[in-house]
Structure 1
Amino acid sequence: MATPVPNAHVVMMKELLASGNYSDFTITCGSDTYRVHKNIVCERSSFFKRAERFPRPIGEEASESKVDLSEDEPEIVRLLVQYLYENDYEADSDEKCEQRRKQKQAAIALRSKRSPGGCGFLLKFPHQCGQGCHYSSVWVCPHHRCDNCISKCNFTCSTCSPIMEGEKIDPKLLLLHPKMYAIGDKYDVAGLKELARTKFSPVCMSLWNEEGFAQVVEHVLSTTPDSDIGLRDMISKTMVSHVELLNKPAVAKALNKHTSFMFKVLRHIAEDKAGFALAHIKLS
């Protein structure tokens, strides 16, 4: 498969940011410094547009316009600046992103293969018969067939297992995307909230059972008002689909701090599971 040719405009913008050539504005965050360009960052964020107009100390040149974002996390600010220039953000380096892309393509290719009987492979490791196979009739992967392990084999194919890692989602993204959503709102960055919401959706649906999900619930409910439903709706729908989340102490603790949202979730669960609406209860 041919390697995609990077968008020429994105490449140019990345080089412009990296070089700092013609920079006329500086963003700092702790020890990090970004030499940026007003015509880019100010057009994409009303916050930076206002910051650029702040009165400067006596003796400071107009070309020394700057703003300090040290109250924010350095990693989130780095991704914010990346988005301002590339219209996208990636938590990993370009090299790691390319490695992950190739690994995902390999996983897709392996998933598309068929066994001698015409069926797909299980490709779940470690393998156990409890995953629904019928002994010798089921192929674990192109190299191995189940041989009546009776749920005790815990077999892992050293060739296929690393490839299937490409299907896994990094758990750190579960909180990263809500943080990007929050900073997009904080600095009024055009398009960033929608991008973060789009990226968060599949992560939320896939990693709802992760230990860090409760922290995500708390973060989303604490950084967004009731009227901002972008991420709240995803959290709510995930809880309706996986009611067992309510039995987790950490999730219950987070919901108890936000009773309005909790009642909305309970209402949706009643509507979805019991088939009736709590019309007699007024919920905000």
Structure 2
Amino acid sequence: MDAPHNELMSALATLLEAGKYSDLTIVCGERRWAVHRAVICSRSGFFDGACSNRFREAETGIIDLSEDEEDAVEHMIKYFYHLDYLVKSRPSSPRARGARSPSPRRPRKLNLALVEDPLLAQAANTTIPSHAIPLTPPDEAASRFESLSLNEKTPMTPHEMEEEADDYFSLAMPEQEVDSAVPHLILHAKMYAIAEKYGIKGLKSLARSKFSTQVEQHWSSAEFPETIQDVYETTVDSDRGLRDIVVQTFRAHPELARRKDVEAVVKETPGVAWDLFRVGWGMPVTA
């Protein structure tokens, strides 16, 4: 399955990088992305509606998202073509420069069963049930997270690396080198919010999974208080996807209540204050 999957992902990444066959432009501030309706509209209810009806966007082929943050829009677009975000552009192939191909990194493997995305499901040749990633954890009383590992690395032998160098170097995307010691809590919260806004189900599931893993690792970071506020200000009360993770973090780490920066955010954010009040009295957070 690796070779067809790598070929599909490489082709999608090339479409975005080269802009070839583009028939739609997304604008955000000073930035522009040449994209493809077949890729974008099949994955987002918002973009499908904008391009299918007699709106100005359908006639001009330009969709202006300048009210959103540029970085969030960029990561959203990268998700459409990479089925992931926080990804870097692929380097040009050494062959194109006349150099000898070095041994490639093993392509990053996603656990396809964890992300609800139609294109990803097709690539995996499997049917993903709608309950694959519930938005609300089934056990609110749990004091720890069920960590969702999206990237399981399998070491390659030198023979395997040499064998794959000729066939797959131009196809395999390089493994994203994201420093796990650096928190990306706010980014994942923003990606969750933008996925909800534009109806991108797979991106929303992926952002929640990344957020859960990051919070488990970086709940004590200086970024966590601002993240709490961002989560509660960018989601509605009925959307418990990230809010439940925040509440579970307080359950698992009661020492958070003694942090002054956390106290300040809780006082300024009625939603989280109300949730923690109910938790303190042993009441369910959700109806």
Task: Write the mapping of 1:256-267 to structure 2, written as runs, cut at 5 A.
Answer: 256-267=267-278
Residues 235-282 of structure 1 show CA distances to partners (whole Å, capped at 9, x for unaligned) of: 111111111111222212222233343243244356xxxxxx359xx9
Contact 2:13-2:81 at 8 Å conserved across structures: yes
Quote the residue 1:214 is aligned against.
225
Contact 1:171-1:210 at 8 Å conserved across structures: no
* Alpha-carbon spacing, 1:17–1:200, altered in 2? closer, same or farther (3 Å): same
Task: Write the mapping of 1:234-273 to structure 2, written as runs, cut at 5 A.
Answer: 234-269=245-280
Percent identity of the aligned residues?
Answer: 34
* Alpha-carbon spacing, 1:22–1:91, altered in 2? closer, same or farther (3 Å): closer
For 2:283 and 2:86, the matched residues in 1 are separated by 42
Quote how far apart the aligned CAs of 1:51 are: 2.0
Are 1:78 and 2:78 an aligned pair? no
Contact 1:26-1:65 at 8 Å conserved across structures: yes
Are 1:189 and 2:200 an aligned pair? yes
Gaps of 5+ in 2: 92-104, 109-151, 155-176
For 1:173 and 1:92, the matched residues in 2 are separated by 16
The aligned amino acid for 2:220 is: N
Contact 1:174-1:203 at 8 Å conserved across structures: yes
Quote the residue 1:128 is aligned against.
none
The aligned amino acid for 1:15 is: T
| Superposition RMSD in Å | 3.2
Are 1:67 and 2:63 an aligned pair? yes
* Alpha-carbon spacing, 1:28–1:283, altered in 2? closer, same or farther (3 Å): closer
Task: Write the mapping of 1:10-49 to structure 2, written as runs, cut at 5 A.
Answer: 10-49=9-48
For normalisation by structure 2, the TM-score amounts to 0.63
For 2:286 and 2:39, the matched residues in 1 are separated by 43
For normalisation by structure 1, the TM-score amounts to 0.64
* Alpha-carbon spacing, 1:283–1:19, altered in 2? closer, same or farther (3 Å): closer
For 1:91 and 1:191, the matched residues in 2 are separated by 16
Quote how far apart the aligned CAs of 1:93 are: 4.9
Contact 2:183-2:221 at 8 Å conserved across structures: no
Task: Write the mapping of 1:1-284 to structure 2, written as runs, cut at 5 A.
Answer: 7-52=6-51, 53-56=53-56, 62=59, 64-94=60-90, 169-269=180-280, 277=282
Q: Which has the larger radius of gyration?
A: 1
Gaps of 5+ in 1: 107-165, 271-276
Residues 12-47 of structure 1 show CA distances to partners (whole Å, capped at 9, x for unaligned) of: 001111121211111011222111111111111111
* Alpha-carbon spacing, 1:252–1:93, altered in 2? closer, same or farther (3 Å): farther
* Alpha-carbon spacing, 1:92–1:212, altered in 2? closer, same or farther (3 Å): farther
For 1:67 and 1:170, the matched residues in 2 are separated by 36
Quote how far apart the aligned CAs of 1:85 are: 1.8
The aligned amino acid for 1:30 is: G
* Alpha-carbon spacing, 1:278–1:234, altered in 2? closer, same or farther (3 Å): closer
Contact 2:78-2:87 at 8 Å conserved across structures: no
Give 3-state SS (helix, strand or coil) of 2:195's partner.
helix
Residues 33-79 of structure 1 show CA distances to partners (whole Å, capped at 9, x for unaligned) of: 1111111111111111222234349xxx94x4111111222111111
Give 3-state SS (helix, strand or coil) of 1:43's partner.
coil
Give 3-state SS (helix, strand or coil) of 1:47's partner.
helix
Contact 2:231-2:242 at 8 Å conserved across structures: yes
* Alpha-carbon spacing, 1:244–1:167, altered in 2? closer, same or farther (3 Å): farther
Contact 1:83-1:89 at 8 Å conserved across structures: yes
Q: Which has the higher contact order (CA 8 A, sep 6+)?
A: 2
For 2:221 and 2:231, the matched residues in 1 are separated by 16
